[in-house]
Amino acid sequence: MAYLKADSEISLRFFSSQDAMELFWLVDTNRKFLHKWLPWVEGIQSPAQILSAIQMWEKRLQEGSSFHFGIWYRGILSGSISLHSIDWANSQASIGYYLGEKWQGRGITIRAVSTVINHAFYGHGLNRIEIRCGKENQKSIAIPVKLGFRKEGILRDAEFLNGNFHDLIVYGLLAREWNVRSVGFY
């Protein structure tokens, strides 16, 4: 199975069916924490639902329309990151990510996002990456800001979350704006 190595602590690997129980455990044990910012969390009530999602991701991987990676920190699944909405004609895609609560504050997400950006720009030749963050989600916003993304605008009421519409901030980064960061590709 192909994977990306961010550094000695973090590796990213495409999800496979064998990861369904581990991913369900991650979501289930972090349900309250993740629910605040991710609209799909409450809908996941069984490993079978995760397995179905992974099978869909595997199909999209084969089609080249998205890549869904698990974030393994010191060998433990700690989160997820995806390069999705890939538009090959316009050479652009979006990145989404989440991390379990106990792995917060260790720089895991920023290293994982940097790795996926390198993979998108240098491994696939994409020109533009977008990250959308909830306007109030300061931890998520910190990632594109630290990585040099530009704030491109606000999508008003763009996400229905926990019974209310919320604004999303759109951040964009072009390949020519990215400072090369060394990561291993395996």
Write out pLDDT tens, residues 34-51: 998 888 888 889 999 999
Check residue 42 and give its pLDDT.
86
Check residue 180 and give its pLDDT.
58
Using CA atoms, how far residue 131 sits from 9, 30, 151, in Å, is 24, 22, 10
Closest CA to 69 of 35, 47, 95, 87: 95
pTM: 0.91
Phi, psi of 31 (to 5 degrees): -55, -50
Question: Domain residues of the chain, as ranges?
Answer: 3-185
Residues 148, 173 contacting (CB under 8 angstroms):
yes
Q: Is the pLDDT of residue 1 over 50?
A: no
Q: Is the pLDDT of residue 185 over 60?
A: no
Strand-pairing partners, residue 84, are 94
Write out pLDDT tens, residues 81-136: 999 999 999 999 999 999 999 999 999 999 999 999 999 999 999 999 999 999 99
Q: Is the pLDDT of residue 183 over 60?
A: no
Q: Judging by DSSP bridges, how do beta strands 92-99 and 128-134 pair with one another?
A: parallel
The number of beta carbons lying within 10 Å of the beta carbon of residue 9 is 14
Q: Report the CATH number of the 3-185 domain.
A: 3.40.630.30
Q: Is the pLDDT of residue 181 over 70?
A: no
Banded pLDDT at 184 (limits 50, 70, 90): very low
**Average pLDDT of the chain to the nearest whole number:** 92
Residues 10, 4 contacting (CB under 8 angstroms):
no
Residue range 162-180: average pLDDT?
A: 93
The number of beta carbons lying within 10 Å of the beta carbon of residue 17 is 10
